[in-house]
Amino acid sequence: MATVGKTKLDSGWLAARSTEVDLTGTQLTTTHPPSKGPNSPWIDAEVPGTVLGTLVKNKVVPDPFYGLENETIIDIADSGREYYTFWFFTTFQSKLSGSQHLDLNFRAINYSAEVYLNGHKKVLPKGMFRRHSLDVTDIVHSEGGQNLLAVIVHPPDHPGRIPPKGGQGGDHEIGKDVATQYVEGWDWIAPIRDRNTGIWDEVSFYVTGPVKIVDPHLVSTFHDNYKRVYLHTTTELVNRSAWVAECSLNIQVTTELEGNMCLVEHLQTRHLSIPAGSRVQYTFPQLFFYKPNLWWPNGMGKQSLYNVVITIEVKGYGESDSWRQLFGFRKIESHIDKATGGRLFKVNGQPIFIRGGNWILSDGLLRLSKKRYSTDIKFHADMNFNMIRCWGGGLAERPEFYYYCDLYGLLVWQEFWITGDVDGRGVPVSNPDGPLDHDLFMLCARDTVKLLRNHPSLALWVGGNEQIPPEGINTALKKDLILHPLFYNELNEDGKSATGLSVEMKDPSQYLDGTRIYIKGSLWDGFANGKGGFTDGPYEIQYPEAFFKTDYYKYGFNPEVGSVGMPVAATIRATMPPEGWTIPLFRKVSGGYIEEVPNPIWDYHKYIPYSKPGKVHDQIQLYGSPKDLDDFCLKAQLVNYIQYKALLEGWTSQMWSKYTGVLIWKTQNPWTGLRGQFYDHLLEQTAGFYGCRSAAEPVHVQLNLATFFLEIVNTTSEELSNVAIEASVWDLEGTCPYYKTFEKLSVPSKKTVSIVEMKYPKSKNPKPVYFLLLKLYYMSDNRILSRNFYWLHLSGGDYKLLESYKKKKIPLKITSEIFIKGSTYEVHMYVKNKSKKPESQTLTLANNFTSMQSDNDFDSSSLESTCEKPNESEAVGLVHKLFRRFSKEQDGFKVTEMNMNGSEEGVAFFLHFSVHASVTQHKEGEDTRILPVHYSDNYFSLVPGEGLPVKLTFEVPPGVTPRVTLQGWNYPGAHNVH
């Protein structure tokens, strides 16, 4: 008897172009199974994945994300659909008892397919976003024999053609299908040549007994100010036997305690009879919880999750099926805020100021993995974001994506597959009626809702990007996604919701969803101008102070505002040939502006310049003309940091008075693009990542760049009292000409409060370039709530004086503490600026933070450390570059302290860590970085006497010895210390 449950089919696949295979599906799965060989068309396949991903994996075509290689790959518009129609083949074994059933499941394919199993044919109908489940019990070899499986996958019906000038969604033909719409290219990505054809999501077989559990729906309702909570559960049950099944249906809810212990909160059993061959819906009696642990978004509290397990046992058989889901008790509400006109979200009754980003997908070739999703979502949480918008031209994201959003507290705005440029706008004007098959769209939409609805992170459904779905689809979505009365703020006297649709007071778990709002489009109902006007954006470089001005953006919630995103130089070298390492030409145009002219490879990778002639002067040139790629990318990181920190601080400065939220366009690129990103496709963060991380702290001290007033932001539900601000100005000579503290401050919850003007620029003889360090701390014990560092110039000035500041040799001291657990390294660094600190001022230089960012992916508590804390009496040293080699010793950790001597005083500016593989000979362009790395902070600066703890976490490939480097503006050279 086979074990009940799922077995993934994610390895051992072969693939071949259909026109190169002379055999039928029946022959492939009976008498002529394929094999690789010198003259065979069959190659190792990427499943889950796409045809193009398989071709890249086997080096049949070059990497389309490298340089201009995408231009050498034939586009489906020129090759015809048959060229990207592929066979996929694998084998598996199964052993079933007489009462067991086996389903072959495809969680998604693009776009249609025929399945052959042991000579038998099954058809998978069209649609990229739908699950397929085939009962193959009578087809599989149930005695443990080998099953032969072949699938021929056809591309979308309307793959379209790419116009000479590109454009948003190519010629828009892809919009006629229920598929991703970015694949014909956009202003941030080149065309995907196969249009993502393939078995792009999980394939598995699933064994059950006579009765199968299908798509349970979990809903929690709240009463008495969240003290009483009820869990509602409805599931479908399918009896596939020829007799009445006498069943015991069980639901168990547990919560995890410390020490891998679980507490059973509820265990309920119900007995029922299911007629032969029938499909029934069953609703459990509601389960009562008193004061459960609630699920909160990132920055508002813990992400408490309960494990819900539903099992069904059949008399005379035993356990027939089992289903489990991590579930969070939380209530999400939203309404249009009267004060701002923006949509205001509440979680568990608490308003949440939305600071997040737009998301397309993880990888343009759909090389999706749980490991990469884990990194992606943790990066968003590390930036202190609380929402991700899944843009309508991309994916209905996968359960693995939502799993990590649940764990890390990222609310998700999920759009359906409509976007304006492909559905009614664009050049030429696209088809306004959306996909040709509206019924297919709705089938995919309903199935997507069932796939995702139990995730606490899922916050709202939106019909489309900058467009409303066609009337028939929009009406159907409104009806299907109507709120249950318990989740609607108000009902009209006639018992209708604001949508005009009647509501029924049945159990909420019997709704398709019933708990989340549906908004018809991203520019409607509290987003942008709320009426569909094209009022999101802008998408280019801005003056930092512009974000703080009251006339910058008119509306309460901006769903898309974008800017630059140049990666570090190592990424350019790793993703482009040497001709792509040339920096832009800086051409003077009218009005004293400079136009950047990028090289053709940067242009192909959608580089967005750091200037906007006529509006914004070049922000890289503020630091002086860059000399080479390294200099350009380093200066770009300075701008990235300032740009995105100012964007979020500007929005937060007007929290609730003008704004309810903002989503940045966009957080990352699903390919090696050069715009709008906080980390690149190789998973290296830009400095903008850390500008966001600082600005989006739950409690934050900041400088209003328009008014020069100091502000305190408190997005938490607790009032701050007896806190103080320490403001210190540091010049390029290492002195502190301005030092003030503002004490005994109080800040109400959910408020931004303007405290006092920072008057240094108005003082006598202010320095043209200076540093400002702000710290918000508790007066009782100097514990720091927020630390914020700025580099500033006087009005009308620039940062060119920083060029000579590179020659400063600032003494730093570094202590490292290394833990090794398997292939995972956790490195605790402590970096201190040993410059002489001012003796006449009481500075909070120790940086005793109130709490550290939690790190869920490494447990160092079980590892014993012999590291001593930094000793203030140790000799001072000079850091040119820290080049630490780690070796796996018996206890798995190594402790190092290093001093780098320097004789000059001053701020250690723009320090940043990176991790590399140790290599004996380094070739030009060779990428030695180990990625990804999670940093508790990076691109930081230290004033004299100040020390900062930084934690690094990363995995090391087998056989690789890592080294950590520390570089900074003050010493950008390659001086190595072993």
Which is higher by pLDDT, 859 or 57?
A: 57
The pLDDT value recorded for residue 488 is 82
Residue ranges of alpha helices (H) inside 124-213 are none
Q: Which residues of 630-656 are buried (b: 16+ CB within 10 A; e: fewer)?
A: bbbbbbbbbbbbbbbbbbbbbbbbbbb
851 Cβ partners below 8 Å, 6+ apart? none
Mean pLDDT of all residues belonging to the chain: 92
pLDDT at 198 over 80: yes
Render pLDDT for 607-617 as a digit per residue (tens, 0 to 9).
999 999 999 99
Share of the chain above pLDDT 90, in %: 85
Choice among 560, 684, 826, 946 that is catalytic: 560
Euclidean distance between CA atoms 583 and 685, whole angstroms? 20
Among candidates 485, 479, 440, which has minimal Cα distance to 461?
479
| pLDDT at position 299 | 97
* Averaged pLDDT for residues 340-350: 97
184 is catalytic: no
The pLDDT tens digits of the residues spanning 163-172 come to 988 789 999 9
Note the pLDDT tens digit of each residue in 617-636.
999 999 999 999 999 999 99
pLDDT for the residue 503 = 53
3-state secondary structure of 660: coil
**How far apart are the C-alpha atoms of 830 and 892, rounded to whole Å?**
20
Q: How far out from the chain centre does Cα 829 lie?
A: 26
Decide: residue 39, CB within 10 A, 0-12 exposed, 13-18 middle, 19+ buried.
exposed
The residues pairing with 934 across neighbouring beta strands, listed in sequence order, are 953
The alpha helices in 383-489, defined as continuous H runs, are: 399-408, 438-452, 471-480
- CA gap 595, 612 in Å, rounded: 7
* Res 850: pLDDT: 81
pLDDT one-digit tens code per residue, 692-701? 999 999 999 9
Q: How far apart are CA 936 and CA 854, in angstroms?
A: 9
State the Cα–Cα distance between residues 371 and 375, nearest whole angstrom.
Answer: 7
Of 46, 50, 43, nearest to 16 by C-alpha is: 43
**557-582: per-residue pLDDT in tens?**
999 999 999 999 999 999 999 999 99
Bridge partner list, 914: 965
For the stretch 97-144, pLDDT in tens is 889 999 999 999 999 999 999 999 999 999 999 999 999 999 999 887
Each residue's pLDDT tens digit, 815-824: 999 999 999 9
CB neighbour burial string for 850-870, b if at least 16 within 10 angstroms, e if fewer:
eeeeeeeebebeeeeeebeee
pLDDT of residue 532: 96
DSSP reduced 3-state for 567: coil
Lowest mean pLDDT among 40-49, 73-82, 488-497, 645-654: 488-497
Helices marked H in 724-791:
none
Asked whether the beta carbons of 70 and 190 are under 8 A apart, the reply is yes
> Is residue 763 very low, low, confident or very high in pLDDT (cuts 50, 70, 90)?
very high
Helix (H, G, I), strand (E, B) or coil at 161: coil
Tracing tokens 């813990």 back to the chain, one arrives at 302
Record the tokens describing residue 86, joined without a space: 């592929």
Closest CA to 207 of 119, 264, 144, 297: 144
pLDDT interval class at 838 (50, 70, 90): confident
Torsion over CA: 378, 382, 386, 391 (sign): negative
pLDDT for 881:
37
What pLDDT, on a 0 to 100 scale, did the predictor assign at position 362? 98
* Two tokens, residue 805: 């500041």
Of residues 877, 875, 849, 845, the one with CA closest to residue 946: 845
Angle value at C-alpha 586, between 582 and 591, nearest 5 degrees: 165
- By C-alpha distance, which of 715, 956, 931, 708 is closest to 823? 956
Its sign, for the CA torsion 487, 492, 498, 500, is: positive
Please indicate whether residue 716 or residue 501 has the higher confidence score (pLDDT): 716
Q: How many CB atoms lie within 10 A of CB 33?
A: 16
Amino acid (1-letter code) at residue 476: A
pLDDT for position 729: 97
pLDDT score at 846: 82
Question: Residue 970: its pLDDT value, please?
Answer: 85
Buried b (16+ CB within 10 A) or exposed e, 449-483: bbbbbbbbbbbbbbbbbbbbbbeebbebbbebbbb
C-beta of residue 540 within 8 angstroms of C-beta of residue 618 = no
Type and span of the H or E element at 641: helix 629-653
Mean pLDDT value of segment 923-936: 90
Q: Which of 173, 333, 466, 649 is catalytic?
A: 466
Q: Which residues contact 258 (CB under 8 A, 6 or more apart)?
A: none
> What is the per-residue pLDDT for 901?
61
Q: Residue 609's closest CA among 621, 618, 622?
A: 618
Residue entry with tokens 């850091």: 879
Q: Are the CB atoms for 954 and 962 separated by under 8 Å?
A: yes
Instruction: Convert the pLDDT of each residue in 170-188 to its tens digit.
Output: 999 999 999 999 999 999 9
Q: Please report the pLDDT score of residue 882 as a whole number.
A: 40
Query: What mean pLDDT comes out for the span 205-233?
Result: 97
d(CA 766, CA 619): 22
Q: Can you name the residues that pair with 458 across neighbouring β-strands?
A: 412
R_g (Cα) of the chain, nearest Å: 29
Q: What are 50-100's pLDDT values in tens digits?
A: 999 999 999 999 999 999 999 999 999 999 999 999 999 999 999 998 899
Instruction: Give the chain's length.
Output: 978
Is the C-alpha dihedral spanning 600, 605, 610, 613 positive or negative? positive
Q: Is the pLDDT of residue 868 over 60?
A: no
Beta-strand (E) ranges in 504-564?
518-519, 557-562
Res. 352 pLDDT band, cuts 50 70 90: very high
pLDDT tens per residue, range 530-562: 999 999 999 999 999 999 999 999 999 999 999
* CA atoms of 186 and 539, how far apart (whole Å): 14
What is the set of domains in the chain, with CATH numbers? 5-155+194-208 (2.60.120.260), 211-316 (2.60.40.10), 698-803 (2.60.40.10), 812-847+886-976 (2.60.40.10)
224-249 burial code (b ≥16 CB/10 A, e <16): eeeeebbbbbbbebbbbbeeebebeb
Instruction: Tell me, rounded to whole angstroms, the distance of Cα 831 from its chain centroid.
Output: 29
DSSP letter for 650, please. H
560 counts as catalytic: yes
What is the reported pLDDT for 128? 98
SS3 call for 719: coil
Segment holding 144, helix H or strand E: strand 143-154
d(CA 205, CA 101): 10
CA 584/CA 587 separation, integer angstroms: 9
pLDDT of amino acid 75: 98
Confidence of residue 494 (pLDDT cuts 50, 70, 90): very low
Spatial separation of the C-alpha atoms in residues 843 and 840, rounded to whole Å: 9
Measured CA to CA, the distance from residue 497 to residue 500 in angstroms comes to: 5
For 399-426, how does the pLDDT look when each residue is reduced to its tens digit (9 = 90+)? 999 999 999 999 999 999 999 999 999 8
